[in-house]
């Protein structure tokens, strides 16, 4: 499988793993030490070929993703669930993800779009127990897995659903399919 866009990963081990899964070019952020020169390179790559951000499914990975998105708003996103990107010692990272999970993430890339209104309201998320309630975290985990948008807390879920144009009907479907797609 060949990917035309440049894939942004955190480090050399991620590049090695991703290149086992697909034929592609990568840019490495050097973890959370991402600097302005790297951001400029990502911006240039986005303008020329397009960029897909594939960072670790953890707090630092999400922070890097957000930094890139703020600097280069037109990047695409690929997500891998933390439960499949973990080694025997419990360390989470793209370098530990199965080849099939990387390929699946790159097939289901999410693209933000320009929008002026919400596709999902906070009230809908509250009413369906995704923001508050005894099982909110588990419900969010299932919905995020089903929609392939990476695990999110309540605030991140609201942002990602609207950024990717996911509708309340899509979320409702995800809730009732319990993350199986």
Residues 38-81: pLDDT tens digits? 999 999 999 999 999 999 999 999 999 999 999 998 899 999 99
> 92 - beta bridge partners?
86
Residue 78 sits at the vertex; the CA angle it makes with 73 and 80, to the nearest 5 degrees, is 140
List pLDDT tens digits, range 96-134.
999 999 999 999 998 877 666 788 999 999 999 999 888
pLDDT at 181 over 60: no
Sign of CA dihedral 146, 80, 150, 57: positive
Entry pTM: 0.82
Tokens of 126: 């509250």
Indicate the DSSP class of residue 95: G
Of 88, 103, 102, nearest to 56 by C-alpha is 102
- Residue in 103, 86, 77, 94 with CA at minimum distance from that of residue 24: 103
Q: Where in the chain is the domain with CATH 3.40.1360.10?
A: 2-107
To the question of domain 2-107 being in CATH 3.40.50.620, the answer is no
């Amino acid at each position: 499988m060949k990917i035309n866009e440049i894939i942004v990963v955190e480090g050399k081990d991620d590049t090695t793993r991703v290149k086992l899964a697909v034929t592609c070019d990568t840019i490495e952020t050097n973890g959370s030490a991402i600097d302005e020169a790297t951001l400029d390179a990502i911006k240039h790559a986005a303008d020329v070929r397009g960029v897909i951000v594939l960072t670790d499914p953890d707090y630092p990975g999400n922070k890097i993703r957000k930094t890139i998105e703020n600097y280069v708003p037109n990047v695409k996103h690929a997500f891998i669930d933390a439960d499949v990107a973990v080694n025997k010692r419990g360390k989470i990272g793209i370098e530990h993800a199965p080849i099939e999970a990387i390929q699946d993430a790159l097939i289901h890339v999410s693209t933000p779009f320009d929008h002026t209104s919400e596709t999902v309201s906070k009230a809908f998320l509250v009413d369906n127990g995704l923001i508050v309630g005894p099982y909110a975290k588990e419900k969010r985990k299932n919905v995020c897995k089903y929609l392939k948008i990476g695990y999110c807390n309540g605030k991140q879920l609201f942002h990602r659903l609207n950024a990717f144009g996911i509708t309340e009907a899509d979320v409702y479907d995800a809730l009732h399919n319990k993350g199986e797609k």
